[in-house]
Amino acid sequence: MKKKEILVAALMMGATMTYAQDDSGPSFEQIENKNGREILPVAGDIAIQFDASPLLNFALDAVNIMDYNGSSTSSPGFTDGNGSVIVGKYFLTDTKAVRAKFQFQTNGGLGTANSKVTQYFDSNQEVFLDATPNANGDEYTQIEDVQKTKSHAVVLGGGLEFRRGYARLQGFYGGELLFMKGGTKTTTEYGTEFNLEGETNGYNASGDGFSGVNTRILEVENSSMGIGLRGFVGVDYFILPKISIGAEFGWGFGYESTAQTETLTEDWAILDGATTASSNESTTLGNKSAGFSWGTDAGASAISGAIPGFGSSAALNLTAHF
């Protein structure tokens, strides 16, 4: 079944690229508004396309002035809207355009820029020295472990788009090639240091109040890169001259390669030749991975899973032509 799906996709992409050799393409009759302005794009036009959901959310929310009414747009189940995608187009003819895509995200979890998690604990040293917690009525000093995660994913793409339609309604289809590079880095700063005093008094810990901890992770970093091929179909409706609102659906497959994960660890141990323990840092490497995947824009990403549809366009989009 999987081989058949890949074959179908390859044939679809091949047909699209073969059709591109025909510069004539379908034709349509230009229409004008009552002021004589052309409504549809023509050869030489440049277009910028972006996610329309924020504007639609604003329109829904405008029903209750200065009071959020909880209404928001939702995407059809087979697509995944993504506000970080920008698509640029240049029309070679009235019905054929080259398109370029840029997508960038910095995530601590999808859609959340650079996450930070702080955990608070009673001071290990004070807990150790004070056998009866808060015997003097005072609270213990709070120490904290801080974990920061920074993730990023960049997708660049280019392809061809073909259009046909009637009056203000136009359908489009085509294919695009996509490249991606991404990575994640997680660092942890601990409130309790590994030192000789902590070992002597029994409160060497990771900051969570448990004594005797002698190994902890300081940093984990990984990266990946990949390539994808995506076919797409969609529809635009021109609500104003050279301005359209539309939707796009995509299907594609890609290849991803993930580099070895690097883990920086801190140990409290006695090294060979030493007589006392000390804090030591070391780096270990994990396994590499690589593979293929495919699916719709709403499916698992073929490239790192960080971006649905490995570079999908917004499910609902707004396009301006100049």
Q: Which residues of the chain have pLDDT under 70?
A: 1-28, 53-84, 105-113, 130-138, 198-213, 297-315
> Residue 270: what pLDDT?
74
> Residue 85: what pLDDT?
79
- d(CA 81, CA 319) in angstroms, rounded, equals 15
- d(CA 100, CA 288) in angstroms, rounded, equals 31
- d(CA 57, CA 70) in angstroms, rounded, equals 9
Start-to-end CA distance of the chain, whole Å, equals 44
Main-chain phi, psi angles of 288, to 5 degrees: -85, 160
pLDDT tens digit sequence for 93-140: 999 999 999 887 655 444 445 788 898 877 777 777 765 555 565 677
Give the pTM: 0.70
Sign of CA dihedral 155, 158, 160, 165: positive
> Residue 56: what pLDDT?
63
CA dihedral defined by 155, 184, 107, 180, rounded to 10 degrees? 10
Kindly report the length of the chain: 322
- In three-state secondary structure terms, 310 is helix
Q: Looking at the DSSP assignment, which residues form a beta bridge with residue 290?
A: 257
* Cβ contact 246:89 at 8 Å: no
Query: For residue 103, what are the contacts with CB-CB under 8 A and spacing of at least 6?
Result: 82, 84, 85, 86, 153, 154, 155, 307, 311
> Residue 241: what pLDDT?
95
